[in-house]
Amino acid sequence: MKIGLDVLGGDYAPDSTINGAIEAQKVLQEGQRLVLIGDQQDTIERLKHAGADPDKFDYIHAPENISMHEHPTKAITQKPNSSIAKGFELLKNGEIDSFASAGNTGAMLVGAVFSVKAIPGVLRPAIATNVPKIKSGYGILLDVGANADCKPEMLSQFATLGSLYMQYIYGVETPKVGLLNIGEEEEKGNNLTISTYPLLQQNKKINFIGNTEGRDLFTDAADVYVCDGFTGNVVLKLAESFYVVTLKKGMKDDFFDRFNYERYGGSPILGVNAPVIIGHGISTPEAIKNMVLLSKDMIESQIIDKIRSAFN
């Protein structure tokens, strides 16, 4: 198993990514190798400085970085030696089994769609994020930003993708799927949700429980919440603020602690032909470590093969 990690991606890279890689490597088993993609010599020197053994990692030299403010498509094509472009080249060629980065989100999306490409039958890949439940554990919400405008057929596919992810990554046998809406009644919502509802009812690959409202998001009402990427991103950014507010107020609570992005590391792009994970731009070493471990879980679960089978 070879887990690709962009060393240069993120606001605090490369120190944060390298320290996170060191912590992740301590947890990985024999035969599970971390491939560090960035400035090779600089990476090795930083590993030595941190007291780590450079021989425990593999390296790909990619000295250029795509900054957060660069145009994703232009940057991918104009910077073939960037860590993100090189990572997707390796992933496409099967030289690594997954790729994770806390760098430019747009470049990660573009790279995923144009290199490893969408799984046949998938209209649009989606980004999923964890949603803490009040009692314990997580549900997931998708899409949270890959597709601001969606068609009903896309939301139905998001439901299938989310269900498979909950089943094979979190071990929920028959995940409950809710359509995020402004009311529980079938006739509530806008044109998109009203048109999506019957498609979800007819989708034999999911356990659809009906419309769910914002107040249901952190309960056991559903395991998978489906919405367009515009709505999902607004909800995600609001939810992320909860943890920050509790810190500022001096509150300590396990539920709100589970809003901390560090705990789950990153968000998977579901619907492409390989495990791809996008980390938060401000990722700490703990977040990087958990992003690597999520990559490992996605490889071990063979989630990509499960999705291919569902859409075949």
Domain 123-261 has CATH 3.40.718.10: yes
Q: Which CATH class is domain 1-120+271-302?
A: alpha beta
pLDDT of residue 259: 82
* pLDDT tens digits along 197-229: 999 999 999 999 999 999 999 999 999 999 999
Q: Are 68 and 104 in contact (CB under 8 A)?
A: yes
- Taking each helix axis from N to C end, the angle separating 285-301 and 15-27, rounded to the nearest 10 degrees, works out to 50
> What is the rounded CA–CA span in Å between residue 181 and residue 231?
10
* pLDDT tens digits along 100-120: 999 999 999 999 999 999 999
> What is the rounded CA–CA span in Å between residue 69 and residue 173?
41
* pLDDT tens digits along 180-199: 999 999 999 999 999 999 99
Strands, DSSP E only, in 143-247? 176-180, 207-212, 224-226
Q: Are 17 and 286 in contact (CB under 8 A)?
A: no
At 289, list the tokens: 């470590």
Collapse the DSSP code of 81 into the 3-class scheme (helix H, G, I; strand E, B; otherwise coil) and give the result.
coil
Q: Which helix (H) or strand (E) holds 100?
A: strand 98-101
The domain ranges of the chain are 1-120+271-302, 123-261
1-120+271-302 and 123-261 have identical folds = yes
Those residues whose C-beta lies under 8 Å from the C-beta of residue 218, and which sit 6 or more positions away, are 131, 132, 133, 134, 255
Low-confidence ranges of the chain (pLDDT < 70): none
Task: Name the amino acid, one letter, at 69.
Answer: H
Q: Are 135 and 220 in contact (CB under 8 A)?
A: yes
> Measured between alpha carbons, how far is residue 114 from residues 18, 82, 108, 125, 190 in Å?
27, 16, 10, 12, 32
Global pTM value: 0.92
